[in-house]
Structure 1
Amino acid sequence: MDFSSSLPPSHSPLYTSPFIPNSSFPSASPYISPSPSLASTALFCFLLSLLALLGIGGNLYTMGLLIRRRRGRRRRGCSSCCLGGRGVPLPSCLSSSPPSLSPSSSPTSSSTSLHLQVLSLALADLLYLFTAPFIVYDSLAADWAFGELGCRLLFSLDLITLHASIYTLTAMSLDRYRAVANPLATSSSPSSGLLRVGLAWGLAVALSLPMMITLHLEDGDEGQLCVPAWDEQSSKVYMSVLFCTSMIGPGLAIGALYATLGRLYWVSQTRPWASGSGGSMSYPPRAPRPKVLLLILGIVLAFWACFLPFWVWQLLPLYRPDMLRTVPVGTQVTVNRILTGLTYGNSCVNPFFYTLLTGGKQRRNRQTPTSANQLCRKSSPQ
């Protein structure tokens, strides 16, 4: 889920666009970066390829696990209903089932929505990791070899996966907040969860359209370059907007949600139950399950830790170009490659969080049909 690549080979300018490895901003330094050593380039390509292989394997495993669990839940769906000899639900079962098993508050809906969101995150990671071979080739070759269509698709895909990931994480945090702040409200249905995931990807595509439209190939001194057709000021404005839409805005929203969840958790642990009006009891907010909340927070923090340094590094030439001119070129190449590997590493680590996030849910859901069947056997006539 990153939108960069390593610094290009010797024919490329010193300062590169955060999305296009072979392009430069108009205000970039006129100096040409020296060719990185063959050993450092080979090491970078090897590590990047290793991260891509591990990340692709992990995300494919996560997606396969979620799809298999979804199919298993469908096969077990009817076992949670108490059916008579002709497939008609028995009245005794309907009257004896507790409110927590009703469709409007079933944990299955919440679990399905969570699984859809995790599937969206894994898909975004997977799509980005598939760009690694092209980055490796571009680091070794001296020319862009994938045509204008590849120029538009590959580098726009970086933006799409970036925004789709952070917007999905924002939706996940919002769902956890709603489950804690208003636990008696109707749970999210699978269709509403799918709608939120579709909205996240739709916004991501819309924000990447300017880059997709303006990218084109230009003939350089030593080969073709993939560059956007805009000037320095337009690049600065567009990059600033993307930084706000991918980091600042979602970061503030998620931070506010978790701050509110922390306050609700504190209230639920410290404030005793009180008698409400008319002699009724007013219950404190339900304490959130620490595991789910902490795992989602871990995914968010890992995203920020990997992307924020790279964003700062890419915005620096736009706002403080003089500062970078004092940094040796070799140091810039090293920093750029380290930050590139860090962002790819984020997609490699995420499957670990995804598996932990959905594992506990699956075990709890396995217990629900069993409890329902025991209840039906006790309440059904012979």
Structure 2
Amino acid sequence: KSYENRSIVADGARVHLGNSITAEDLSGFSITMAILYLVVCIMGLAGNSLVIVAILKLDKMSSSTTVYIFNLALADGLFMVGLPFIASQNFQNDWMFGDVACKVVMVLDGINQFTSVFCLTVMSIDRYMALSNPLRFARWRTPRCAKVVSAVLWLFSLLTILPMALHFSADQGLCIPDIASNAWWLGILSYTFVMGFALPFTVMTASYAALLITLRYRLRSSPVNPDSHCLERQVTKMVVAVVVVFAACWLPFYTFNFCSLYQTGLVQDFTRAFEFAVLLSYSWSCANPILYACLSDTFRRHFHTLLRPAKSPASMHFLP
């Protein structure tokens, strides 16, 4: 994600920021952003760590759903590790960690970002298979199969991001990409937009729409079943939350990236709005533990068990 954020750096908006903004304004804004980055980092690490511990301690990844949730939480948690480096550069307008660290941080940042998005996408397909026809798709929803799919997602994320991330260097005092031309950068942005947003969003929307249609069809077939009504309402709330939050966190980020290509001069409001869009995309990793944990009554009970271990935990039953 942060590699695309540097498009605005390459266009000069961040590099020459100090020439057009007073030191007082820059200091106040930078301090505010640094605090927000710190809050997002702490919340993301704490929330995703809690999900990981809950799965390893109480469930032991006994289902495909929890395998995907575990990998999602792991990617989101590791995603937060690179946040202090990005915040430090934004705060000081300088990269002080060296060229090797620049490439490593960008590679890890990209791998965890794409793995998180891909896991979320596969989970939408897994949830459709679980609720539409569990017997038919049973062999595809084993923990072993989910682990293989998750490993492939991590490898695919590495292959997806590696060619772009290695173009980063800290030769000019900032960890920024070496841009050959605007056409080259437009191609990179288009590629990452399709792979990191458009395609996953389309798959998620289609999977969840098919799932809701299937559940409502069953509801008409057996309208007296209260369990079906309860499941349909729960899944509907979760689907709306997932799709809306994913779009709200990522669409502004990609929109600003494309707009930055046509930003010829320094516009303070645009620069600051871009910074918030980047922060918003990072905050998506904080939202995942809420969406995939707190929306589940059972997950909430087990969070309570971990935080207050005096009571013995029951077996976990995640939303299928």
Q: Compute the TM-score of the two structures, normalised by the length of structure 1.
A: 0.68
Q: Which whole-Å deviations, capped at 9, do the CAs of 1:243-281 have from their partners, x for residues lacking one?
A: 0111111111111112212221222122469xxxxxxxx
Q: Which whole-Å deviations, capped at 9, do the CAs of 1:322-357 have from their partners, x for residues lacking one?
A: xx458x622012202221221232222322223235
Report what 2:10 is aligned to.
24
Query: Pick from 268, 271, 281: which aligns with 2:218?
Result: 268
Report what 2:260 is aligned to.
317
For the pair 1:70 / 2:8, whether they are aligned, the reply is: no
Contact 2:59/2:315, CA 8 A, preserved across alignment: no
Deviation at 1:366, TM superposition (A): 4.7
Contact 1:172/1:296, CA 8 A, preserved across alignment: no
Q: Call closer, same or farther: CA 1:114–1:31 in 2, change over 3 Å.
A: closer
Report what 1:344 is aligned to.
282
Identical-pair percentage: 23
Q: Call closer, same or farther: CA 1:360–1:142 in 2, change over 3 Å.
A: closer
| Cα distance between partner residues in 1 of 2:82 and 2:15 | 29
* Aligned pairs (5 A) from 1:42-191: 42-71=31-60, 112-185=63-136, 187=138, 188-191=141-144
Q: Which whole-Å deviations, capped at 9, do the CAs of 1:149-172 have from their partners, x for residues lacking one?
A: 211121222322222112111111
Contact 1:125/1:347, CA 8 A, preserved across alignment: yes
* Aligned pairs (5 A) from 1:160-239: 160-185=111-136, 187=138, 188-219=141-172, 223=173, 225-228=175-178, 230-239=180-189
Report what 1:278 is aligned to.
none
Deviation at 1:30, TM superposition (A): 11
| Cα distance between partner residues in 2 of 1:37 and 1:121 | 35
Deviation at 1:193, TM superposition (A): 0.8
| Cα distance between partner residues in 2 of 1:197 and 1:368 | 21
Q: Call closer, same or farther: CA 1:296–1:260 in 2, change over 3 Å.
A: closer
Deviation at 1:24, TM superposition (A): 0.5
Q: Which whole-Å deviations, capped at 9, do the CAs of 1:357-381 have from their partners, x for residues lacking one?
A: 5653798995799xxxxxxxxxxxx
| Cα distance between partner residues in 1 of 2:110 and 2:181 | 20
Which deviates the most, 205-214 or 307-316?
205-214
For the pair 1:289 / 2:239, whether they are aligned, the reply is: no
Report what 1:9 is aligned to.
none
SS of the residue corresponding to residue 95 of structure 2 reads: coil
**C-alpha RMSD over aligned residues:** 3.2
Contact 1:55/1:129, CA 8 A, preserved across alignment: yes
| Cα distance between partner residues in 2 of 1:177 and 1:295 | 13
Contact 2:76/2:112, CA 8 A, preserved across alignment: yes
The one-letter code sitting in structure 2 at the alignment partner of 1:360 is T
Deviation at 1:138, TM superposition (A): 1.2
Report what 2:250 is aligned to.
307
SS of the residue corresponding to residue 179 of structure 1 reads: helix
Report what 2:305 is aligned to.
none
Structure whose CA Rg is larger: 1
| Cα distance between partner residues in 2 of 1:228 and 1:175 | 39
The one-letter code sitting in structure 2 at the alignment partner of 1:316 is C
| Cα distance between partner residues in 1 of 2:295 and 2:14 | 49
Q: Which whole-Å deviations, capped at 9, do the CAs of 1:2-50 have from their partners, x for residues lacking one?
A: x13xxxxxxxxxxxx624388405xx68993334521111111112112
Contact 2:75/2:112, CA 8 A, preserved across alignment: yes
Which deviates the most, 178-187 or 126-135?
178-187
Contact 1:292/1:357, CA 8 A, preserved across alignment: no
Contact 2:14/2:93, CA 8 A, preserved across alignment: no
Deviation at 1:311, TM superposition (A): 0.5
**Unmatched 5+ residue regions in structure 2?**
303-312
Q: Compute the TM-score of the two structures, normalised by the length of structure 2.
A: 0.80
The one-letter code sitting in structure 1 at the alignment partner of 2:30 is T
Report what 1:277 is aligned to.
none
The one-letter code sitting in structure 2 at the alignment partner of 1:176 is R
Q: Call closer, same or farther: CA 1:192–1:293 in 2, change over 3 Å.
A: farther
**Unmatched 5+ residue regions in structure 1?**
5-16, 74-108, 274-285, 370-382
| Cα distance between partner residues in 2 of 1:325 and 1:45 | 27
Kindly indicate which of the two structures has a greater share of residues assigned to helix. Answer: 2
SS of the residue corresponding to residue 33 of structure 2 reads: helix
Report what 2:306 is aligned to.
none
User: How many residues in Structure 1 have an aligned counterpart in Structure 2?
Assistant: 295
For the pair 1:243 / 2:216, whether they are aligned, the reply is: no
